[in-house]
């Protein structure tokens, strides 16, 4: 059996890194003092889409009224070349426009894909020949549909973590609102940005945290922060420069140990994925890599032969694998950082990637090749920024939201944006 150097030793010895890289300008566009509108892409679909309301509504385009209804119902929008055709399903009334259209309910909710949202819904013809449906909602209402999905309901004893999550989510969204004026939407409703499901999972705890932190955001050097977060860091948060080298960086995202300054256990030690182990036969692992490696490296599948060996070449200061070398019968391939999680997958058909890159590999060889390999690691997610389970652990130990945010985004300042 061969085992690479322990991630626990590496993580314990990790140090914070140095200087800031360039950051985008987040100024302008939306005045302070006024709650901004967030444009959330909730659905991209093909040639038609349906929007429903529970009460009276108006359909407008370019300032003009296209259709009116004094009761709830459904609206069908159909793409016809560069034209959007809209129909009231109950009455059959219809209209068309070559511009975007907006369904505006009169004080009621609006539904897209079975999910109910506050605010209005804009339909636009997208660049792929389909239709984008975009929820137009106030920032605080948006957050009430984000926070319960991102951190769950950890209980009143972890309220400080829920408040910290609300501030991190607000800062993330507001930074994108201010920089995306030239785009048709600010954020997507899924994991590409923040999970947002409208009224689907309303939580008293989350709604209270949003209200109690209204308008509060994090700034660094006078600019809104990029407040990334993930579920469980495994003992040390990641350095953004290693995880996403193509994104803007700043010192508050360079990674740090997930424990108190005077030592003690990791704040996220109680999380389900704090430590994990996944074992594959050599045959299973080889078949996986033949499917996953070509799209990651952009090579034809015929170039990937039978698996021979896996080698960890180097790690980041947090203990995460930086470079993984894959040796096959036809050549040697190198994968780095977060791309490793898309090559070593738990379930390829379901798209389940490796929880994190904080791992060791234990192998048993047979006939000069890997017969069995165990990935022994910790954490769940990219690890950049706030560790959500760590924040919960901190809150349960009595830390406030400001202390939690200062721990995970060191050097930042809390400000009131509106």
328 has which bridge partners? 307, 331
Mean pLDDT, residues 319-340 taken together: 96
Residue 13, pLDDT > 50, answer: no
- Within-domain flag for 64: yes
- Within-domain flag for 51: yes
Phi/psi for 299 (5° steps) reads: -120, 160
- Within-domain flag for 351: yes
- What's the structural domain count of the chain? 2
pLDDT value for 107? 86
Q: Which helix (H) or strand (E) holds 123?
A: strand 120-125
- Within-domain flag for 309: yes
- Within-domain flag for 395: no
- Within-domain flag for 59: yes
Instruction: Report the predicted TM-score, pTM, of the whole model to 2 decimal places.
Output: 0.88
pLDDT value for 413? 98
Among 53, 132, 47, residue whose Cα is nearest residue 89: 53
Domain end residue (candidates: 104, 129, 154): 129
Cα–Cα distance for residue pair 391/267, rounded to 1 Å: 7
- Within-domain flag for 346: yes
Residue 132, pLDDT > 50, answer: yes
Contact 340, 357 (CB under 8 A): yes
Per-residue pLDDT tens for 92-122? 999 999 999 999 999 889 999 999 999 999 9
- Within-domain flag for 13: no
**Cα→Cα distances 183→170, 189, 403, Å:** 19, 15, 35
Averaged confidence pLDDT in the chain: 92
Cα–Cα distance for residue pair 255/321, rounded to 1 Å: 14
Cα–Cα distance for residue pair 240/17, rounded to 1 Å: 11
Phi/psi for 91 (5° steps) reads: -100, -20
Mean pLDDT, residues 181-203 taken together: 95
The alpha-helical segments, DSSP class H, found in 224-366 are: 240-243, 282-297
Residue 28, pLDDT > 50, answer: no
Residue 287, pLDDT > 50, answer: yes
352 has which bridge partners? 347
Per-residue pLDDT tens for 62-95? 989 999 999 999 999 999 999 999 999 999 999 9
Residue 19, pLDDT > 70, answer: no
Domain end residue (candidates: 129, 153, 169): 129
Domain end residue (candidates: 129, 150, 175): 129
Residue 97's domain comprises 47-129
pLDDT value for 34? 83
Per-residue pLDDT tens for 308-319? 999 999 999 999
Residue 4, pLDDT > 50, answer: no
Per-residue pLDDT tens for 343-371? 999 999 999 999 999 999 999 999 999 99
């Amino acid at each position: 059996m061969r085992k690479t150097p322990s991630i626990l030793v590496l993580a314990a010895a990790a140090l914070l890194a140095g200087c800031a890289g360039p950051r985008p300008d987040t100024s302008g566009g939306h005045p302070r003092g006024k709650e901004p509108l967030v444009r959330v892409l909730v659905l991209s679909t093909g040639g038609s889409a349906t929007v429903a309301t529970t009460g009276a509504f108006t359909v407008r385009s370019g300032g003009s009224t296209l259709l009116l209804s004094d009761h709830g119902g459904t609206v069908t929008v159909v793409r016809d070349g560069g034209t959007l055709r809209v129909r009231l399903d109950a009455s059959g009334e219809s209209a068309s426009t070559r511009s975007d259209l907006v369904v505006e309910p009169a004080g009621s909710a609006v539904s897209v894909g079975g999910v109910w949202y506050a605010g209005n819904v804009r339909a636009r013809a997208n660049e792929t020949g389909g239709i984008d449906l975009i929820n137009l909602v106030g920032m605080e209402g948006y957050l009430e549909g984000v926070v319960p999905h991102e951190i769950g309901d950890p209980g009143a004893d972890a309220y400080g973590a829920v408040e910290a999550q609300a501030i991190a989510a607000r800062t993330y969204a507001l930074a994108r609102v201010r920089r995306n004026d030239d785009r048709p939407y600010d954020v997507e409703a899924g994991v590409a940005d923040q999970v947002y499901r409208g009224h689907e999972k309303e939580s008293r705890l989350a709604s209270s945290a949003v209200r109690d932190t209204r308008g509060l955001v994090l700034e660094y050097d006078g600019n809104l922060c990029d407040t990334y977060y993930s579920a469980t860091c495994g003992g040390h948060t990641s350095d953004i420069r290693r995880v996403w080298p193509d994104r803007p960086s700043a010192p508050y995202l360079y990674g740090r140990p997930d424990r108190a300054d005077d030592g003690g256990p990791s704040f996220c030690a109680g999380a389900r994925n704090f430590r994990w182990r996944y074992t594959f036969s050599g045959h299973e692992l080889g078949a996986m890599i033949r499917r996953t490696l070509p799209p990651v490296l952009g090579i034809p599948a015929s170039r990937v032969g039978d698996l021979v060996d896996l080698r960890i070449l180097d790690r980041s200061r947090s203990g995460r694998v930086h470079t993984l070398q894959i040796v096959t019968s036809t050549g040697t391939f190198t994968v780095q950082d977060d791309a490793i999680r898309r090559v070593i997958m738990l379930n390829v058909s379901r798209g389940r990637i490796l929880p994190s890159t904080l791992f060791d590999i234990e192998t048993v060889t047979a006939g000069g090749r890997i017969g069995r390999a165990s990935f022994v690691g910790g954490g769940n997610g990219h690890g950049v920024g706030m560790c959500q389970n760590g924040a919960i652990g901190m809150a349960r130990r009595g830390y406030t939201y400001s202390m939690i945010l200062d721990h995970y985004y060191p050097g930042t300042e809390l400000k009131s944006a509106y």
